[in-house]
Amino acid sequence: MSSPEIASISWGQMKVKGCSTTYKDCKVWPGGSRTWDWRETGTDHSPGVQPADLEEVVKKGVKTLVIGRGMSEALQVPSSTVEYLKKNGIDVVVLQTEKAVAEYNALAAQGVKVGGVFHSTC
């Protein structure tokens, strides 16, 4: 099962190929995607992305996880979150969201089992 291409990204809007939903923030993995609702884990820009935000994508068997920090990189990614991924044998890439989407799409096109969590505003 391949990771779905992110068809478009702009401020506050993301589209995943093959999905009719327009996301603000989203999670993607081989075979699927859904809204990334920060309220589920109490996430905020600081301290930022928590392991709990990533568990669902990690459980999908990804080898690489790309984190988009927002258009202005306001979303923090603490070292504890990066360590959580590394301990699970997952490569992690943390970038500004537009760059993160480009990296994610490139990896998906190469057939890498890649997942991502992307913040499409600040």
Domain ranges of the chain: 6-118
Residue-wise pLDDT for 83-105, tens only, equals 999 999 999 999 999 999 999 99
Q: How many residues does the chain have?
A: 122
- Looking at the DSSP assignment, which residues form a beta bridge with residue 10? 13
Which fold would CATH assign to domain 6-118? Hypothetical Protein Mth938; Chain: A, (3.40.1230)
Q: Residue 48: pLDDT band by 50, 70, 90 thresholds? A: very high
Model pLDDT, residue 10: 97
Place of tokens 């990189």: 73
**In the chain, which ranges are continuous DSSP H helix?**
51-58, 79-87, 97-109
Residue 1: pLDDT above 90?
no
